[in-house]
Amino acid sequence: MGLTQGLAVLAVAGLLMSVGAPAHAQQKRPLSPIAQNLDANGNGLIERSEARGPADSNFDTIDKDKSGALDGDELFNFFQGGGSTPPPAAASATPAPSGDDKKPAEGRPLSPIAQNLDANKNGVIERGEARGPVVANFDTIDKNKSGTLNGDELFEFFQGGSNSSGGGGGSGPPANVEVDMVIDEPLSQTVPVLGRIVASEFGPVAARISGPVNEMHVDVGDRVERGAILAVLDRERLGLERDRYEALVKQQSAKLASVRADLEKRSLELKRLEGIRKSAAFSQARFQDAVQDVAKQRADVSETRAQLAQAEAQLKRANIDMKDGEIRAPYPGVVSIKHTEVGAYLNVGSPVVTLINDLDIEVEADIPGNRLGGLVPGASLRLTLDDKSEHRAVVRSVIPDENPRTRTRPVRFVPNFAELGKPLATNQSVTVHVPIGAARTVTTVSKDAIVRRGGRVMVFVVRNGSGQPQGVRLGDSVGNRFVVTDGVKAGDRVVVRGNENLRPGQRLRISGGPATPANGVRGGG
């Protein structure tokens, strides 16, 4: 019998026990096997936080000795109808219909146990027939206010608010919780190796041209974006140089146009002389002079064109120098050192600031050569920061440069610090957990899901919209998770927030979207 069915029977079956039950209960009566399902701490009593269904809603009535807990005697007496037994004649207060007047109740029929109350056998429980918690909660159970209780209403109430599909849940308001998934993941023995955080982009940002510093736009500790202006050199001289080359370009352009026109004139003269070579007026000496003039003019055109190209290149360089007069950040980062100030003269290559890109970082560790077997590119492992937080990383590269004294090789890892929520620093220490054996697949659960009550270790598993306690057997600790050897399987959803005061079978309102494991790896099953 499931916990949900058992609790429904605890509510109904207890109060509807056979008429021949003794009128008085033996002192120190133990809890029934069904009621023991509620006794989370195993102390033989149902405490207020453990009660659900009618036991919860009638707790103060059942607790005759006002001890704050319900013992076997109190539960037995209440669910036998003690103090709430209707007068003997009440059971027959409504005459049983006969013949065609008897109509079967619509929907779910009464359970066999509840049929014991149906004195007139009309398929519903009337007020005069109710006893125990049914009479105490009659108006609450009677959802349609018909004055009678049908099978659907009784089932819904004693299931703690479930529907006809059988979904369970405790009475009262649902608990706001967050859940996580039980997963299967690889596990192997590891050895800790101390590493450090390194930035992929860092170093001095240098001047590309020489000149005095006119403006400084940053200071140590400032965060800058890619392309942000760090400093500005004196651009007046650069502007004058650019203007000179612009004028030179114009001059050479005009000269080129002139020599081209002269070439065209001399070419026409040569063509005219060629046309009269067979006439008496043709002069061979004059023709040769014309040929030489055209050749010389073509050389002048080529020379002027080359001078123009040189002037255009110088103008382009002057424009680049004007642009380089503004020293900009080549990548985003934080200014760690400022090397110059306003008024200083910079030569080509002089450092302006040192910039560290703390957003694009990696982890580097010197790994012993005999531990490199499992560190292939793409392999995943665990990292631990100095604040004890656990993170995942992927091997990017094993650098083929072994230290002859330590027999170690540098290995670069790409970490996942997306949820860290705080800045990191270059050379900050980090512990890399290097695997030393073959991985085995284990089932793990979040440490936040573990609840310890009365010496029992359990988790609350989400089943049919309610939280059901499930005992578990724990193995090794794996970061922020425990290996589970018994009790749950991969794919189960367990409560990780709001489980401290969760009652067995209490309905749940799950927040935070679909359950995903803390390390982003979903299990099978």
Q: What percent of the chain has pLDDT over 70?
A: 80
pLDDT at res. 494:
95
Beta carbons of 202 and 334 less than 8 angstroms apart? no
Place of tokens 């990548």: 331
- What is the rounded CA–CA span in Å between residue 432 and residue 422? 20
pLDDT at res. 170:
47
Show the tokens assigned to 435. 């695997």
Show the tokens assigned to 429. 């220490």
pLDDT at res. 284:
86
- What is the rounded CA–CA span in Å between residue 397 and residue 375? 9
- What is the rounded CA–CA span in Å between residue 166 and residue 161? 10
What's the distance, CA 422 to chain centroid?
16
Show the tokens assigned to 211. 């000149």
pLDDT at res. 337:
95
Plot region of 47 (φ>0 → left; ψ -120 to 50 → alpha; else → beta): beta
- What is the rounded CA–CA span in Å between residue 409 and residue 376? 13
Show the tokens assigned to 308. 């123009």
Amino acid residing at 198: V
Q: What is the pLDDT of residues 451-479, one digit of tens each?
A: 998 788 999 999 888 899 999 999 888 77
Plot region of 518 (φ>0 → left; ψ -120 to 50 → alpha; else → beta): alpha
pLDDT at res. 28:
66
Residue 83 pLDDT level (bands cut at 50, 70, 90)? very low
Contact partners, residue 104, CB within 8 Å, separation at least 6: 123
- What is the rounded CA–CA span in Å between residue 313 and residue 120? 110
Q: What is the pLDDT of residues 509-524, one digit of tens each?
A: 888 644 443 333 333 3
- What is the rounded CA–CA span in Å between residue 74 and residue 93? 29
Q: What is the CATH T-level fold of the domain 190-199+360-437, as seen in this structure?
A: Elongation Factor Tu (Ef-tu); domain 3 (2.40.30)
Beta carbons of 217 and 231 less than 8 angstroms apart? yes
pLDDT at res. 289:
86
Residue 162 pLDDT level (bands cut at 50, 70, 90)? very low
Contact partners, residue 335, CB within 8 Å, separation at least 6: 218, 219, 220, 221, 222, 223, 224, 230, 353, 354, 355
- What is the rounded CA–CA span in Å between residue 125 and residue 140? 14
Beta carbons of 7 and 51 less than 8 angstroms apart? no
Torsion, Cα of 10, 13, 18, 24 (10° steps): 30
**Residue 33 predicted with pLDDT over 90:** no
pLDDT at res. 154:
80
The terminus-to-terminus CA distance of the chain in angstroms comes to: 24
Show the tokens assigned to 124. 């519903």
pLDDT at res. 404:
93
Burial class (CB in 10 A: 0-12, 13-18, 19+), 171: buried
Q: Map residue 417 onto helix, strand or coil.
A: coil
pLDDT at res. 497:
92
Backbone angles phi, psi at 317, to 5 degrees: -65, -40
Q: Where are the alpha helices (DSSP H) in 80-231?
A: 133-136, 138-141, 151-158
Q: How far is CA 344 from CA 218, 220, 234, 338, 339, in A?
A: 15, 18, 11, 12, 10
How is domain 175-186+441-510 classified at the architecture level of CATH? Answer: Beta Barrel (2.40)
Q: What percent of the chain has pLDDT over 90?
A: 42
- What is the rounded CA–CA span in Å between residue 505 and residue 523? 25
Contact partners, residue 322, CB within 8 Å, separation at least 6: 235, 238, 239, 242
Q: What is the pLDDT of residues 351-408, one digit of tens each?
A: 999 999 988 899 999 999 888 888 889 988 889 998 888 888 999 999 999 999 999 9
Rounded to 5°, angle at Cα 394 from 393 and 396? 130
Place of tokens 């005459």: 95
CATH code for 208-230+329-353?
2.40.50.100
- Edge to edge, the sheet with strand 229-233 lists 326-328, 229-233, 211-216, 345-346
DSSP 97: P
Residue 310 pLDDT level (bands cut at 50, 70, 90)? very high
Show the tokens assigned to 458. 């359990």
pLDDT at res. 247:
94
Mean pLDDT of 189-197: 89
Contact partners, residue 249, CB within 8 Å, separation at least 6: 308, 311, 312, 315
Q: How far is CA 130 from CA 53, 84, 90, 103, 107, in A?
A: 17, 9, 9, 20, 20
